[in-house]
Every structure is written in structure tokens, then in C-alpha cells.
Structure 1
Amino acid sequence: MDNQQSTILSVDSVNIRRFFKNGSQETLVDSVVVESPVEIYVKYGPIEDRKIKKIAMIMRSPGDDLALAVGFLFTAGIIHRRDDILPTQKTTYFQKIQLVEFAYHFNPIFPKDDRIFIVNAACGVCGAPNAEALQGNIPYPSWGKPKIVKREIIFGLVNETKALQPLFNKTGGSHAVCWFNNGGELMQVAEDIGRHNALDKVLGHALLKDKNIRMEGFLFFSGRAGFEMLQKAARAGINLVVAIGAPSSLAIEIAEENDITLVGFTNHNSFNVYTQAHRIQ
């Protein structure tokens, strides 16, 4: 499903009354972003003994639920590559459940305490049981040699990415994540009421298309860069993250530890580089 189709599922209309400072008011129809739950289940085990297990309940904007589920399973460290799931997967449009079928040979390792991840639109790590678990699963290094990205490409993102956010342009209530190659060509974009969901959707699309999730290039965040976003980026081997907003202290720490160039406060005139500035030319 492309971003335009996802937008249709993620927008609702409501009647509102607008008040003005001069004392007047008007009644009109407004567009709001949809926030609704989806439950993520997995089917696993050998072909003769398949089992079903609930993994998570995620508050998200509908559309791209399969990519969201696959990306979440990847960033949670439950799956690692395309071969861990069956070649054919079904997207359950308009439903509250998304099933991901694991490959018959794949033996998943689930959280030890058998917890179910509860993820709301504001929090991508709400299922973590303790501080140690927040460090997550980041076994992948950056792919190949460090790539150089020209500053002109980064400056160009400020205008270019506005047109890539139809859900935000219609509602003002969503976040976007874009994946570009090192030359600035768009590879994938996703929007969601939760920034971490948007990133999981992008990573899920990449995993569904590639045997191994080799995401050469960089990520663009339409808002701030929190630590959970950098953690997910590191999991995918990304070595450059560009954010419109500010990074957090822990995001900077994770970027430094995982050799990620972290850019923030990106606008038409300047941007800040917090780590590994040598990748910007």
C-alpha cells in the first residue's frame, strides 16, 4: 500500500465550531488523523504443529499494518531477516488484527517474561519491563564503508518532504519517516500518528522487499529524534539520521555508540550535527 492509499484509511471527518478573536464563529468539517488499535499475532512452529501467539497491541493510524507488524517484530528483535517469515503474507485491511506467519524452520525467541507489548502513539517502548530492556537489540553494524552526503541534499529535504506527507497536510496530526539513498532519492515513506510506528512501517517495507534489511542511505524524521527512534535506526544499520526537530541526550548517546551521524534542527538555512560530522560534505 502506498502512502496516498494509507492516507485515505487514516483520515476521519468531524464537525467542529471555530471561534475567532473578533467574537465571530463558524461551523465546518475538519479532518483528523485516525488513532485506533491493532493487535499483532504471529503464527510459528513446524508445518505440522503451528501455534499462534499475541505479541503486541499498537495504537496506530490504519494502513500498512503488515509493514508495521513486520517492522515492529524486527526492531523488537523477534525476527532478523526476510527469510524468518513466509514469502506470502496477508494484510488485514479494516480489521483490528494483523497476523504475521513465521517460516516453518524459524525458531523465534520471545520475551522471557512472556509479556505483550502495549504501544501507544506517544511511546515506542511502553512494553519494556525495565531500564536494561530499553537498550534493545542492536546487533547490526552500518552497511559497508561510511558514505558521504552533501549538505545540499539535506537542505533540500525541508521542502521536498512537505509534499511527501499527505496525512499531515490534511490533518496536522501525524509524523513522517522517509528513507533516502545517499544521492537523495526517495526509497520509502510512511506516516502515522506515532513517529515510532512510521519508522517501523518504513523498516517493514524494506524487510519485505529485501532478503536482508540492507538500508543503505539515510532516514529523515519530520519531528524530534528520541532515543527509541535512534535505537530502531541502529537496528537497521542506518548511519545517518536527519531530523527536523531536536534530539534527546540519550538519542545522541546511542548515535555515538553506533557510529550514526545525527542531524537535528534542520531548516532552510542551517542544521546541527551532533555526532560523526565527517559524513556531511
Structure 2
Amino acid sequence: MSTTEHVRPGPTTRVRVREVSGGAARDRRDDLATEEPLEIRVAAGGATRTLAVTMRTPGADFELAAGFLAAEGVAGPDDIHSIAYCTDEDLPPEARYNTVTVRLHGAHLPELPTMHRHFMTSSACGVCGTASLDALRERRRSLSAGEATLPPVSAEVLYGLPRRLREAQGIFGKTGGLHAAGLFTADGSLLALREDVGRHNAVDKLVGWAQMNHMAPLSSHLLLVSGRTSYEIMQKALAAGLPMVCGVSAPSSLAVDLAREFGITLVGFLRDQRFNIYASPERVSLADR
């Protein structure tokens, strides 16, 4: 086995480009958002299995794995013993930082449908179809007014969230090519932000961060995503106990259906001092308008 140490991939990759403007061309360096595969393995009782391979931006990989397992109903924070990059001898050096093993406390791997097949997820679509509505109904009951502890959020607070999210996007400022997910309090304070080429990965990283910091469930917080709000985003928000999800773009029809069934406040087109409320409008306060 080679002893050459492979360089750990970073969130940005520098390339040479030829920029053309006004009929003139010049060569310069440019920063791109890095996109590489991450294999997520689950281990327990001496057995190891690959759960998923997702295309992601390197960084916060352990949080991504923890958030992904929580969203898929595989393991919560109390089930996880450790998370580490894989050093198995069957892996080539260049794959070491692209493979994460989540070791569980149990003596056996969990028997779940998603554990019986490997599935590939892209940075665009997320884990499309891996969790049905029926599975979601079994794993989470509806968020009732008594369960969610998020106080009403004012329209003025919502108006300011996209600006706070954009100002905190350090990697986006370099590349212009990353999605972001931010966790906020009801008064608009940004607690954490994660970036990734995949919006669903950014949410997994954020949820994983919260779980690893013993903040789950997130019943007193709200989520803002930089793009559209899809079914996958709502699935992950539901698993994390989030009572409000906001997006700067449009939600999908299935995202709206999911929000309405489970009592999650869903806000879309949050930009330019306006927004639409698609579900559970009672958590948005207009009294200060």
C-alpha cells in the first residue's frame, strides 16, 4: 500500500479560465465549488455496510453523515458511538477523505429498508423517493401547536433573513455556486450556516451540527434555504422537528402537501420584502405591519 499522503479535498478548487468580456479575452485564476462523492458507511457489531453515496462539497462531512442518518430514520444522536473517516485497507488513499464510517452503539446493524440496497444521490436531487409518505407518518406525528415551541415570527424578521444568510456565505462569495441552509431563532439570530453544492446536503450538515451539539429536536427554530424548497428538504425538516421552513424561491407541490399534512409553516419567495405562506400561517405575525 502506498505511503503517499493524499491531500484532503477542500470546499473550493482553483482552476485557470479564459474570461471574455467586450470582445477582449484574458486568462486568470478562478475558484470553483468542489464537488466530490462521499460514501456513508454504517457499522455495528463487527458488520459494516454502505448506506449511501452522495455528491457533496467537502467540509462538515461528519455533520452531513449524522444529519443524513437522522433524516433517513437510521440513527439519532444517542445511537451514534463515533464518526470517522474510513482507513480500511481496501480503500485507495484518494478515497480516504471521501468515505465516512458511522459506528453505532448497537450490537447489530438496524434492519431498515434503506439498508438493503445501496443508492446513489446526486447534489441536485437528494434522496429522491427513499422515504415514502407512509414511512414519514410512522416516524413523526404531526407538529401540533403544543409540541412546537417556536413563538410567532414577525414579518419584519422574515424579511431580514435572506440578507443575513447571504452575508454569512463565505464560500459562495468565492465561487457563486453553492446553496446554503441557515438555522435561525424567532428573533432572526443566525445560529449556524452550512453550504454545499446540494441544498439537501446543506440541510443535512446543519441538522447534523445541531444533533452533535445536543440541540435536537429543533422545535424552537426555523430553517432558511437559499433555493427552492423540495420534498427532500421538508422530509429532513420534519425528521429534525423544525416547525418552520423558509425558502427564497418556490416550493414544490409535494413540499406544500407535506407541510400541510404535518403542520409545518412553509414560506416561499422570501425576498425583496415579500413572501408567500403556503401552510400553517399562524406562526407568522403581521401585528407590526
Band the TM-score falls in, shorter-chain normalisation: 0.7 to 0.9
**CA displacement, residues 231-259 of structure 1 (integer Å, 9 cap, x when unaligned):** 11111111111111111111111110110
Residues 1:58 and 2:54 are matched in the alignment: yes
Change beyond 3 A, Cα 1:97–1:190 = same
SS at match of 2:224: strand
2:83 aligned residue = 89
Q: How far has the Cα of 1:89 moved from its partner? A: 3.2
SS at match of 1:271: strand
Maintained 8 Å contact 1:41/1:98: yes
Change beyond 3 A, Cα 1:69–1:233 = same
Q: How far has the Cα of 1:106 moved from its partner? A: 6.9
Q: How far has the Cα of 1:228 moved from its partner? A: 1.0
Maintained 8 Å contact 1:244/1:267: yes
Q: Which amino acid aligns with 1:89?
A: I
Which of 110, 113, 117 does residue 111 from structure 1 map onto? 113
Percent of pairs with identical residues: 35
Distance 1:136 1:125 in 2: 14
Query: Of Structure 1 and Structure 2, which has the larger fraction of its residues in strand?
Result: 2
Q: Which amino acid aligns with 1:17?
A: R
Unaligned runs of 5+ in 1: 1-7
Change beyond 3 A, Cα 1:166–1:269 = same
1:24 aligned residue = 24
Distance 1:160 1:227 in 2: 25
Maintained 8 Å contact 1:256/1:275: yes
1:280 aligned residue = 284
Change beyond 3 A, Cα 1:205–1:106 = farther
Residues 1:121 and 2:123 are matched in the alignment: yes
Distance 2:135 2:118 in 1: 16
Q: Which amino acid aligns with 1:156?
A: G
Maintained 8 Å contact 2:51/2:114: no
Q: Which amino acid aligns with 1:42?
A: V
Which of 51, 68, 75 does residue 72 from structure 1 map onto? 68
Distance 2:169 2:101 in 1: 27
**CA displacement, residues 88-129 of structure 1 (integer Å, 9 cap, x when unaligned):** 43356961210111013676223267111211110112473x
Q: Which amino acid aligns with 1:246?
A: A
Maintained 8 Å contact 1:118/1:126: no
Distance 2:185 2:155 in 1: 14
Distance 1:218 1:94 in 2: 34
Distance 1:263 1:126 in 2: 22
SS at match of 2:271: coil
2:233 aligned residue = 229
Maintained 8 Å contact 2:224/2:246: yes
Distance 2:25 2:109 in 1: 61
Distance 2:96 2:114 in 1: 32
Maintained 8 Å contact 1:76/1:136: no
Maintained 8 Å contact 2:43/2:109: no
Distance 2:115 2:182 in 1: 34
Distance 1:38 1:265 in 2: 31
Residues 1:216 and 2:216 are matched in the alignment: no
Residues 1:184 and 2:188 are matched in the alignment: yes
Change beyond 3 A, Cα 1:259–1:112 = closer
CA RMSD, aligned part only?
Answer: 2.2
Q: How far has the Cα of 1:64 moved from its partner? A: 0.8
**CA displacement, residues 20-45 of structure 1 (integer Å, 9 cap, x when unaligned):** 2x321111111100000111111113
TM-score between both structures, scaled by the size of structure 2: 0.84
2:36 aligned residue = 36
2:174 aligned residue = 170
**CA displacement, residues 251-273 of structure 1 (integer Å, 9 cap, x when unaligned):** 11111011011111111321111
Q: Which amino acid aligns with 2:122?
A: N
2:92 aligned residue = none
